[in-house]
Amino acid sequence: MAYTAIDLIEIKRDGGALSADAIEWLIAAYTDGSVPDYQMSAMAMAILLNGMNNEELAALTEAMLNSGEVMDFSNIAAAKIDKHSTGGVGDKISIPLVPMVAACGIYVPMISGRGLGHTGGTLDKLESIPGFRTDMNADRFRALLVAHRLVLAGQSETMVPADRKLYALRDVTGTVPSIPLISSSIMSKKLAEGLDGLLLDVKTGSGASIRELDRSRELARTMVGIGASHGVNTVAFITSMDQPLGNEVGNANEIKESIDVLRGDGPQDVTELTMVFGETMLELGGVDGGRERLEDVIESGAALEKFVEVAVAHGGDPSVIDDPSLLAVAPHEAMVAAPGSGYVTQCDALTIGVVATHLGAGRERKEDTIDPGVGITLKAKIGDIVQRGDPLAIVHYSDEERWDAQRESLATAWTISDQPIPTPDLIIERVDVTTT
């Protein structure tokens, strides 16, 4: 049947359902360029506003998955397990996590994303290591996986090209927080990787793409269901994103913090989440040893060595891993000072993520480039006690005008109260196939 983009946009705009055939046509036409960005933006917004039923979601995921090569690693006997997050502020967990589990014997064929909306992206962070290349074709992806047990790539012309285009479009059109768009984006990439198991980190709270717990739960269940229906053993964790993870928000500074974790010296929240996810990936891969094994690869230096090995294989300069002070840092620094004394009861992830994006750590338009040295170093998080004038954050920025436009907004991220609040739980719940 012949379709036109305008007819399909109008069906979705008016609350109708698209046939599987129409969705397949739309995704193929968008991927080959015959449907332009402006029509796909309108469609993405219509999907965000009106949702999709299960049949539409299955068809969308399938069409995106089949837009490029679906890899088959069945000739690798060891378990192929990956991890993906729905996106957060300061969420660098994948970066220390995957060399740790690879050092324990798991194969990790990872296709990641760039920054999305106010949330950072693994690819942008990795590319702040000078020379680190994440663009590759399926042959190189396979070769790196076989040689190093770990490959870190982005969507490309040959691997999930539909998500490569749609992801970049959603980033700048306000169409990120949609359950069907997030789940098809994530699961198309993950199902193209030829996995045995998958761990999903579904963020919830102010800095998450989906903020409400019940909708985060729906997102987790939706993706676990898609994984199960494709024979991939999928586990999701719903975790808090009310405040940023760790103390660094940006790109190069998040690489530095990831190296701290690999050296056994990372912040408590990032280290704990990395350990819990590592244990679960080992469990999914049938590898014994759990947390003790992960602690061993940190203590012995094997996890850090794996990171260096993989960075070099991707063209990255290993000297910045040896000496993270060589990583990019923006030329200017400003302090956000506590306006009063008391307990920090809020350190708002959304505000901090939006400010970091506007300062250049993320994109406002598709063609924008990331400034890797821009970032925010948090000095006070929920539960800390501060005195008036103490630093709440140090901001690293390149452009005075941009900082002037953001300084007031950033100061609103913190609330300081007379009374402490209980430390919020980092891990809220685990969702398995059996619990969906």
Please confirm, yes or no, whether 189 is among the known catalytic residues: yes
Strand (E) or helix (H) holding 415: strand 414-417
Please confirm, yes or no, whether 128 is among the known catalytic residues: no
Report residue 31 as tokens: 């991927």
Please confirm, yes or no, whether 185 is among the known catalytic residues: yes
Q: Which of 185, 251, 258, 377 binds ligand URA (CB under 6 A)?
A: 185
116 contacts ligand URA (rule: CB under 6 A): yes
Using the minimum distance from each CB to ligand URA, give the nearer residue, 87 or 197: 87
Give min distance, CB of 251 to ligand URA, in A.
Answer: 17
Using the minimum distance from each CB to ligand URA, give the nearer residue, 211 or 407: 211
Rg (C-alpha) for the chain, rounded Å, is: 21
113 contacts ligand URA (rule: CB under 6 A): yes
Task: Tell me the helix, strand and coil percentages in the chain, rounded to 5.
Answer: 45, 15, 40
How many CB atoms neighbour CB 289 within 10 A? 14
Identify the active-site residue in 83, 84, 217, 306: 84
Report residue 305 as tokens: 């060595």
Helical H runs in 37-153? Answer: 37-50, 54-65, 94-103, 122-126, 138-148
Q: Which of 67, 86, 234, 271 binds ligand URA (CB under 6 A)?
A: 86
**Phi/psi of residue 362, nearest 5 degrees:** -135, -175
d(CA 381, CA 218): 29
Dmax of the chain from CA atoms? 68
Stretch of 42-50, 178-186, 296-304, 361-369 contacting ligand URA, by CB under 6 A? 178-186
Residues 400-435 as b/e (b if ≥16 CB within 10 A, e otherwise) read: eebbeebeeebbebbebeeeeeeeeebebbebeeee
Q: Could you tell me which residues come within 8 angstroms of residue 256 by beta carbon, excluding any fewer than 6 positions away?
A: 248, 324, 327
Please confirm, yes or no, whether 417 is among the known catalytic residues: no
Identify the active-site residue in 170, 256, 379, 396: 170
Q: Which residue is nearest to ligand URA (CB)?
A: 185
Using the minimum distance from each CB to ligand URA, give the nearer residue, 116 or 259: 116
Give min distance, CB of 146 to ligand URA, in A.
Answer: 24
Give min distance, CB of 116 to ligand URA, in A.
Answer: 5
Residues that bind ligand URA (rule: CB under 6 A) add up to a total of 9
Stretch of 47-55, 139-147, 179-187, 238-246 contacting ligand URA, by CB under 6 A? 179-187
Identify the active-site residue in 163, 171, 242, 269: 163
Stretch of 182-190, 259-267, 379-387, 419-427 contacting ligand URA, by CB under 6 A? 182-190
Partners of residue 415 on adjacent β-strands: 346
Give min distance, CB of 388 to ligand URA, in A.
Answer: 39
d(CA 208, CA 242): 8
Using the minimum distance from each CB to ligand URA, give the nearer residue, 165 or 306: 165
Using the minimum distance from each CB to ligand URA, give the nearer residue, 208 or 303: 208
Give residues 130-169 in contact with ligand URA (rule: CB under 6 A).
none
Q: Could you tell me which residues come within 8 angstroms of residue 116 by beta carbon, excluding any fewer than 6 positions away?
A: 87, 167, 170, 171, 176, 209
Give min distance, CB of 183 to ligand URA, in A.
Answer: 8
Using the minimum distance from each CB to ligand URA, give the nearer residue, 113 or 225: 113
Give min distance, CB of 189 to ligand URA, in A.
Answer: 6
Using the minimum distance from each CB to ligand URA, give the nearer residue, 200 or 281: 200
Q: Which of 45, 182, 226, 350 binds ligand URA (CB under 6 A)?
A: 182
Three-class DSSP labels, 107-122 = EEEEEECCCECCECCH
**103 and 111 Cβ atoms separated by less than 8 Å:** no
**83 and 97 Cβ atoms separated by less than 8 Å:** yes
186 contacts ligand URA (rule: CB under 6 A): yes
Give min distance, CB of 170 to ligand URA, in A.
Answer: 7
Using the minimum distance from each CB to ligand URA, give the nearer residue, 122 or 253: 122
What binding mask, one character per residue, do residues 11-50 give for ligand URA by CB under 6 A, x or -?
----------------------------------------
Provide DSSP, 24-40: HHHHHHHHTTSS-HHHH
How many CB atoms neighbour CB 110 within 10 A? 25
Identify the active-site residue in 67, 85, 185, 216: 185
**150 and 106 Cβ atoms separated by less than 8 Å:** no
Please confirm, yes or no, whether 296 is among the known catalytic residues: no
Contacting residues toward ligand URA, per CB under 6 A: 86-87, 113, 116, 181-182, 185-186, 189
As annotated, the active-site residues are 84, 163, 170, 185, 189
